[in-house]
């Protein structure tokens, strides 16, 4: 099994844990590696139906155990009511440690589940990160096939598994989450959403292009966010009124391979323009994943003025603010700094601008802007912010 950043924290805590993450990120593999004494796999249809009919059954079974045990409940969102029984057992100081996994916060909320505030440790598991892959990391593969463990690490059939993920999971199971009879609208929306990944969302244009009402599009995007398939990147909250900052959101799919598979792009070479967009989104995801894995209270946002000046993403880490522009190329020109300069004009004192690129050496471009090789950014800059 690939070592995961959150693994040691889950292993050593005495608290029960709810591990949330999209399908196939490795939640079950991680939890099973901790050698639980009892496993309740709700992906098993027979078990699912049994516990759905009688959620109190788990309480009776665990109260009958003679010693404190580690209990894994996999895919707990399939029977949200089980969380209420788990809470009752924890409140009774039953001695059991619960390892729970879930892939849909939406199903848990909709099922009236008690999400156990203060009683349980919440963790997130994302696709494999740059740091977790170590020497196995391959940028081209990460941008094309993504980094879901069973896909990235499978040299022979990774692309086939990705096909299945995009069709069976996203187009069928998540479609059921939409609670709509207009399945054609959802399928059409999904293609447009994948194409718009990383872009600023213009709901009016998206509604016009898809012929789907704006409020329906908002609901569909919320479904993708609740099922942990997209990240919402909020607009930067400027403290200065020198420039009017756009209030549009950006959405980024949680994995570049999944995004590509929805568009049928994961089996072919992509253009430099396409790869540039994927590189930008992948770097945004690495910042988000690093922050979550290390429990850092970072705010990751994006900056854009009504006049068109843009920065790919901004990290606010306590008193440190870093604005990042992503460039797939190996060189940087002065003409690529306009967005960073515009941001630094309104940013807090001490903020830095960075162009993250594929060059081999760091460069100082101005007093407040550096060009940094992407590996140095990931190996040194992000950890230093933490």
Contact 68, 38 (CB under 8 A): no
| pLDDT tens by residue, the chain, 386 residues | 678 999 999 999 999 999 999 989 999 999 999 999 999 999 899 999 999 999 889 999 998 988 999 999 999 988 988 888 888 888 888 889 999 999 877 667 665 555 566 678 889 999 999 999 999 999 999 999 999 999 999 988 888 889 888 877 776 666 666 555 566 787 788 888 899 999 988 888 889 988 899 998 988 888 888 888 899 999 998 776 666 666 688 999 999 999 999 998 888 888 888 999 999 999 999 999 999 999 999 999 999 888 888 999 999 999 999 999 999 999 998 888 999 999 999 999 999 999 999 999 999 999 999 999 999 999 999 999 98
Q: Count other C-beta atoms under 10 Å from residue 55's C-beta.
A: 16
For residue 34, how many other CB atoms are within 10 A of its CB? 14
**Element spanning 138, H or E:** none
Q: Which domains does the chain have, with CATH numbers?
A: 7-124 (3.40.50.300), 135-234+251-271 (no CATH), 287-385 (3.40.1350)
Q: What is the pTM of this model?
A: 0.92
> What are residue 50's phi and psi, to 5 degrees?
-65, -45
Task: Write out the two tokens for 117.
Answer: 């505030």
> What does the alpha-carbon distance between residue 97 and residue 76 come to, in Å, rounded to a whole number?
15
User: Of the candidates 377, 104, 345, 123, which has an alpha carbon nearest to the alpha carbon of residue 236?
Assistant: 345
Report whether 230 contacts 252 (CB < 8 A).
Answer: yes
């Amino acid at each position: 099994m690939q070592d995961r950043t959150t693994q040691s924290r889950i292993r050593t805590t005495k608290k029960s844990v709810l591990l949330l993450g999209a399908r196939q990120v490795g939640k079950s593999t991680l939890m099973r590696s901790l050698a639980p004494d009892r496993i309740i796999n709700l992906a098993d249809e027979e078990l699912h139906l049994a516990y759905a009919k009688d959620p109190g059954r788990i309480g009776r079974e665990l109260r009958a155990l003679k010693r404190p045990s580690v209990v894994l409940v996999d895919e707990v969102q399939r029977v949200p009511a089980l969380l209420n029984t788990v809470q009752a057992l924890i409140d009774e100081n039953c001695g059991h440690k619960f390892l729970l996994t879930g892939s849909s916060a939406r199903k848990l909320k909709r099922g009236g589940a008690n999400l156990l505030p203060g009683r349980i440790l919440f963790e997130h598991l994302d696709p494999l990160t740059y740091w977790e892959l170590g020497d196995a990391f391959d940028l081209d593969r990460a941008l094309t096939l993504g980094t879901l463990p069973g896909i990235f690490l499978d040299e022979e059939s990774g692309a086939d598994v990705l096909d299945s993920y995009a069709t069976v999971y996203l187009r069928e199971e998540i479609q059921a989450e939409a609670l709509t009879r207009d399945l054609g609208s959802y399928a059409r929306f999904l293609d447009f959403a994948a194409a718009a990944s990383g872009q600023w969302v213009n709901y009016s244009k998206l509604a016009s292009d898809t012929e789907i009402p704006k409020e329906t599009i908002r609901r569909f995007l919320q479904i993708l966010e609740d099922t942990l398939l997209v990240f919402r990147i909020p607009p930067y909250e400027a403290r200065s009124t020198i420039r009017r900052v756009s209030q549009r959101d950006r959405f980024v799919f949680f994995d570049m391979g999944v995004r590509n598979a929805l568009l049928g792009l994961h089996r072919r070479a992509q253009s430099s323009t396409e790869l540039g967009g994927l590189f930008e989104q992948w770097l945004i995801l690495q910042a988000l994943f690093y922050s979550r894995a290390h429990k850092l209270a970072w705010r990751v946002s994006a900056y854009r003025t009504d006049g068109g000046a843009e920065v790919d993403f901004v990290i606010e880490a306590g008193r440190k603010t870093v604005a990042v522009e992503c460039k797939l190329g190996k060189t940087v020109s002065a003409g690529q700094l306009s967005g960073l300069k515009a941001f630094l004009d309104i940013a807090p004192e001490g903020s830095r601008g960075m162009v993250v690129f594929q060059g081999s050496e760091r460069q100082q471009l101005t007093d407040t802007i550096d060009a940094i090789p992407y590996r140095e950014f990931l190996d040194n800059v992000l950890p230093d912010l933490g």
